[in-house]
Amino acid sequence: MGGDAAVVRGARICYQSTARTANADEKLIRRLISATPKHNTVFEHAVFRFGVKCPLFVARQWMRHRICTFNEKSLRYCIADREYYVPADRDAGRETYVAHMEASFDLYEELLSQGWPKEQARSVLGLGVYTEFIWTVNAWSLMNWIEKRVDRHAQAEHRAYAKVILDIYTNVMPITARAFREVIVAR
Ligand SMILES: Cc1cc2nc3c(=O)[nH]c(=O)nc-3n(C[C@H](O)[C@H](O)[C@H](O)COP(=O)(O)OP(=O)(O)OC[C@H]3O[C@@H](n4cnc5c(N)ncnc54)[C@H](O)[C@@H]3O)c2cc1C
């Protein structure tokens, strides 16, 4: 919502200026993103909303990011789908892992059939179970998330989401994303 144009509008109202050349807006955005101290609030006028499906352990890390809004599928009110993450790069122990996940779902469904409330029966499910949430985040906070989660220190599974979202970001806000990639991600 808003894109590069919203950033430019936010900045130009400060200076009461207009673009005089074809690439003036691009230069302005590049200056804003490189400036120290940063004129960061102009990037908050562009807003994204994502629908995310990921393992619970990725969601837990994701929700450590506070400057944004989440709403998540509730396993108090909904029955968990039998869907869980299986690491593609692991062979040894894979069968045991899958058997364990299947057994946990068997137990979960058994407890539900015995009248356990969903909110208690879910305790037997593991962190690899998929969850879904809606994430609304402004472009400044999104860049903070991308910077931290594409970093090599971030968990690979989380990094995979960050890389995809960086591509989406680049398609939607090409000017800001290009400056962000060159000035911040490449650092
Ligand atoms: C590789 C990696 C490993 C991590 N390991 C752990 C871990 O083991 N345990 C753990 O608990 N967390 C861990 N985290 C989470 C990390 O500590 C941050 O909570 C998370 O990355 C969110 O970053 P953030 O605060 O910049 O983002 P946001 O919460 O979105 O905040 C954005 C910015 O707003 C400002 N801000 C927000 N809230 C406050 C506040 N209360 N006071 C002052 N300024 C504020 C800060 O400038 C902050 O950078 C890890 C993160 C990474 C990337």
Distance CA 148, CA 162 (A): 9
Pocket probe for ligand 1: among 41, 61, 66, 145, the residue whose CB has the most ligand atoms within 8 Å is 66
Q: Is 76 a catalytic residue?
A: no
* CATH architecture, range 3-51+132-185: 2-Layer Sandwich (3.30)
Domain range annotation of the chain: 3-51+132-185
| pLDDT tens over the chain, length 187 residues | 999 999 999 999 888 888 888 799 999 999 999 888 888 999 999 999 999 999 999 999 999 999 999 999 999 999 999 999 999 999 999 999 999 999 999 999 999 999 999 999 999 999 999 999 999 999 999 999 999 999 999 999 999 999 999 999 999 999 999 999 988 777 7
Give the model's pLDDT for residue 54: 98
Indicate the SS3 state at residue 47.
Answer: strand
CA end-to-end distance (rounded Å), the chain: 28
Task: Give the DSSP H/E element, type plus range, for residue 71.
Answer: strand 69-72
**How many of the other CB atoms lie within 10 Å of CB of 89?**
5
Question: What is the pTM assigned to this prediction?
Answer: 0.95
4 neighbors 174 (Cβ within 8 angstroms): yes
Give the model's pLDDT for residue 142: 98
Question: What are the b/e assignments for 94-114, b being 16+ CB within 10 Å?
Answer: eeebeeebeebbeebeebbee
Give the model's pLDDT for residue 175: 95
Distance from Cα 65 to the centre of ligand 1, integer Å: 6
Distance CA 117, CA 115 (A): 6
Give the model's pLDDT for residue 49: 98
Give the model's pLDDT for residue 20: 83
